[in-house]
Amino acid sequence: MLPRFFQAIGTDRYLTEREVMEAAGQHRELAGAWHLYRRMFDGFCETQLDPMFHRLRHPARVAGSPVLSSGETIVVVGNGPSATREMGALTRVRDRVRVFTSPRGAELLATHGLVPDLVLVGHRTALDAHHSARHVHDGRTDALAAAPLVVADWRTPASLLTRVRPDRLFVPDIWPTWGFWPATAVALAAECGVGRIALFGIDLGTAERPDPAFEPLSMLLSLLARLVPGRTFDCGIGSAVKDGWTSQSIDDLAPPTPLRRLEITRRAAPPIEARVALAADALGRLLPVVARAQEVLAIALLARAGNADVVGLREAAAEIFSWQRNRQVRLDLQETLGVSFLPRLWRVGIDLSLGPALWRPLVLATHELVNQSDHLAAEVGQLAV
């Protein structure tokens, strides 16, 4: 299993390293992980943001986790160039390894006549989820329909899952994510106790030219390798080097005997009615915050029009910044309303010396908050009928 701090940081529920330590305990890698979170992720992975409220319409009936053993090898399959070049090697050992992949990885496997054990559906942002849903809507893939098991986090658009049979779909009981699906797959395998985790087609550039765009993912994979030492391998020939991932042939990592069909633990997922009720409760708790946000928005819009009350702007800025100290408010705003501007301000701060220009961050933060509250109230009203 992974240390508790890994999943805790990825939830964005904690604003300081001390908060994480108090919640998850001390660990020698915590300081480095927090530094990585702040430097490469700007202290905000967005993994709990659901601004489109997809969780209210998610079709899953089951929650669960893969059932894995220490004698198994998980192969996390991406769609980098090395995957296509080495697909023959994966084909040779396919019945002796577990294959985890993404929807795009499942498409690549399908072109070679291969089916993964598990497809993970998770997105860094709502825009990423929208593009994935459009990809399916345009009819360019049926890989999810063919997958034996699909795990899709609560923020997944229902339209992306329409072709997945209900008995094959589940939401995760365990979802140790920082927003990048390959790292999520690795972390999930580690949490479930698997003995060997291999990357296949997770190239991140080449050995000679690592792609800087993938540096956050590369560093996250290196962190995971330190957390599960001796269990991480890279089968991508010619791919970018990831610290802690030993280059290894996939043939050498495959156990000698074929595996049975992957099983998962199963329990009933919260039904739509329960999810709607939770959203309604949060809206009730947020009524005073939303009302005050409306007042702050009015003050900021006056300043934008040239009627700035600098003292009032500074007081308003200090007030919305202080909302971070109320943990319930913080979680309700991020995880129920799906707001992003105000949580980012909590992390980077508000420069009170901006004077009349304080209207800019105030409008961004409060306009989003008020609108998200209105949109969620409309969703709850529609689904509660």
Interval 224-246 mean pLDDT: 96
Domain boundary among 266, 281, 310: 266
34 belongs to a structural domain: no
138 pLDDT tier (thresholds 50, 70, 90): low
Which are the contacts of 328, defined by CB distance < 8 A and separation ≥ 6?
285
What pLDDT is recorded for position 55? 96
Q: What is the pLDDT of residue 126?
A: 74
Question: 355-371 pLDDT, tens per residue?
Answer: 999 999 999 999 999 99
Domain that holds residue 140: 46-266
249 burial via Cβ count (<10 Å: 0-12, 13-18, 19+): middle
- 310-327 confidence digits (pLDDT tens): 999 999 999 999 999 999
Q: Is residue 161 domain-shared with residue 232, that is, in the same domain?
A: yes
Written as six digits, the tokens of 253 are: 């990592």
pLDDT reading at 148 higher than 80: yes
Is it the case that residue 32 has pLDDT exceeding 70?
Answer: yes
Q: How confident is the model at residue 263 (pLDDT cuts 50, 70, 90)?
A: very high
**Whether residue 244 sits in one domain with residue 338:** no
- Burial annotation 165-189 (CB, 10 A radius, 16+ → b, else e): eeebbbbbbbbbbbbbbbbbbbbbb
What is the distance between the alpha carbons of residues 234 and 76, in angstroms, rounded to a whole number? 10
251 and 350 housed in the same domain:
no
* The CA-based dihedral angle spanning residues 267, 273, 278, 281, taken in that order and rounded to the nearest 10 degrees: -160
Last residue of a domain, one of 202, 237, 266: 266
229 burial level (CB within 10 Å; 0-12, 13-18, 19+) = exposed
Q: Is there a single domain that holds both residue 73 and residue 159?
A: yes
Tell whether 344 and 201 lie within a shared domain: no
199 pLDDT higher than 80: yes
Q: Do the Cβ atoms of 78 and 105 come closer than 8 Å?
A: yes
Mark whether 154 and 244 lie in a shared domain. Answer: yes
Alpha-carbon distance of 25 to 244, in angstroms, equals 24
Question: Do 124 and 236 fall into the same domain?
Answer: yes
Residue 2 lies inside a defined structural domain of this protein: no
C-alpha span between 123 and 365 (Å, rounded): 23
**Residue 19: inside a domain, yes or no?**
no
Domain count, the chain: 2
State which of 266, 291, 311 marks the end of a domain: 266
Query: 111-120, 134-143, 212-221, 306-315: which range is least confident on average?
Result: 134-143
| 33 belongs to a structural domain | no
Q: Could you tell me if 5 and 32 are in contact, meaning their C-beta atoms sit under 8 angstroms apart? A: no
Residue 63 covered by a domain? yes
Q: For residue 209, give the 3-state DSSP assignment.
A: coil
- Mean pLDDT, to the nearest integer, of 148-152? 97
Q: Using 50, 70 and 90 to split pLDDT, how confident is the model at 376?
A: very high
CATH of the domain at 216: 3.90.1480
109 and 68 within one domain = yes
Whether residue 40 lies inside any domain: the answer is: no
262 lies in the same domain as 303: no
Higher confidence at residue 373 or residue 141? 373
Q: What is the pLDDT of residue 127?
A: 72
Spatial distance between the Cα atoms of 30 and 196, rounded to a whole number of angstroms: 23
In a domain, 4, yes or no: no
Residues 293 and 155 in one domain: no
The answer on 240 and 102 residing in a single domain is yes
pTM of the full structure = 0.94
Are residues 303 and 250 part of one domain? no
Asked whether residue 190 is assigned to any structural domain, the reply reads: yes
